[in-house]
Amino acid sequence: MPSLPTQKPVKVLLTGFGPFRTHLTNASFEIVKRAIAKSGETVEGVSGREVEVVGHREPIRVSYKSVDELLSELYETHPDIDLVIHTGLNATLARSEFLIETIAHRDRYVSPDVDGLVGDDFLSQSKREQWIDNGPLSLSSSVLVAPLIQQVKAQISVPIELKASTDAGRYLCEFIYYDSLLRFHGRDNLNKNPTEVTREAAETDITDHQPGNPLQLPVLFVHVPPSLDLMDLELGGLVLHTIVQEIITLHFSEPLQVIL
């Protein structure tokens, strides 16, 4: 009798930030909580794949050192993670406006964090070598953003503005994005010399990705509006939940092969 192959659930990690400056409650973490509630712990996505959504239990401290240490902990705890979506607050966004960031940069994190430190202050010698010697000037997600935006907007019945952005702000939002991308970039390049890495990065076209193939850099950053109105937070949770589902459809769907 024919049988279908079993596939492990797609494991998705969601994070949001904590208080900073005048924002005593950060909408990004509130939205993450609502997205997780909509997903449940393990559900079957629209693609037919099961999705396991893992949320960090508390908002991430808006600190360069804390972010780097927490990412080390999270990736050690979840070595089998398939997709990471970080979220953060953009105070300039209207209540139904969301940005998907497409690029993160290595340098020029000069705005002080909640501890009064800038990006370079946290770098140990070993970390500096990892970033400066092995880290490209910029990294981009392997997620196909244009079709993702189109599909998410088609799935949500209320009007929203969902756009791609190339300016993540050179603060903790962009910092966590680059740090997270670099960890996946480093996994692929552990046994390669810097010349090989630079050449391959220049030749790689993320639009060549085919559904069913593992994403090389499966990290995305979503900027959300600052509004703490309950209806706005629910909308944000719906948008983030839909982003997860549509990424699964775009990148983790593959025809099931019947084994005879």
> For residue range 86-118, what is the model confidence (pLDDT) as tens digits?
999 999 999 999 999 999 999 999 999 999 999
- Residue 38: predicted pLDDT: 87
From the list 116, 127, 107, the residue with the least C-alpha distance to 178 is: 107
The CATH number assigned to the domain holding 211 equals: 3.40.630.20
pLDDT at position 249 over 90: yes
For residue 87, is it within any domain? Answer: yes
Does residue 176 lie in a domain region?
A: yes
Pick from 36-45, 174-183, 191-200, 248-257: least confident: 191-200
What letter represents residue 49's amino acid?
R
How many structural domains does the chain have? 1
What letter would DSSP give residue 135? S
Identify whether 4 is part of a domain: no
Maximum CA pair distance of the chain? 65
Question: pLDDT for 20-31, tens place per residue?
Answer: 999 999 999 999
pLDDT 10s digits, 181-224: 999 997 755 444 443 443 444 344 444 445 555 689 999 999 99
- Residue 238 in contact with residue 39, Cβ under 8 Å? no
**pLDDT, tens digit, 9 for 90 and up, residues 155-178:** 999 999 999 999 999 999 999 999
Q: Read off the pLDDT of residues 73-84 as tens digits, 9 standing for 90 and up.
A: 999 999 999 999
Residue 69 maps to a domain: yes
Closest among 208, 251, 243 to 99, alpha carbons compared: 243
Give the C-alpha separation, 48 to 249, whole Å: 9
Name the pTM for this structure. Answer: 0.86
**What's the pLDDT at 73?**
95
What is the rounded distance in angstroms from the CA atom of residue 103 to the CA atom of residue 208? Answer: 18
pLDDT tens sequence across 113-164? 999 999 888 776 667 777 777 789 999 999 999 999 999 999 999 999 999 9
Q: Which is higher by pLDDT, 253 or 78? A: 78
| SS3 assignment, position 73 | helix
Is residue 1 in some structural domain? Answer: no
Asked if residue 260 is part of any domain, the answer here is no
pLDDT value at residue 188: 58
Q: Is the pLDDT of residue 3 over 50?
A: no
pLDDT given at position 131: 76
Closest CA relative to residue 239, chosen from 54, 38, 48: 38
Q: What average pLDDT does the segment 62-77 reach?
A: 94
Inside any domain, residue 180: yes
pLDDT band at 57 (very low <50, low <70, confident <90, very high): confident
- Residue 2 domain-assigned? no
C-alpha distances (whole Å) from 93 to each of 62, 96, 179 are 19, 8, 24
The CA R_g of the chain, rounded to the nearest whole Å, is 18
Burial of 243 (0-12, 13-18, 19+ CB in 10 A): buried
Say whether pLDDT at 255 is over 70: no
194 and 134 in contact (C-beta within 8 Å)? yes
Q: Which domain holds residue 113?
A: 10-251
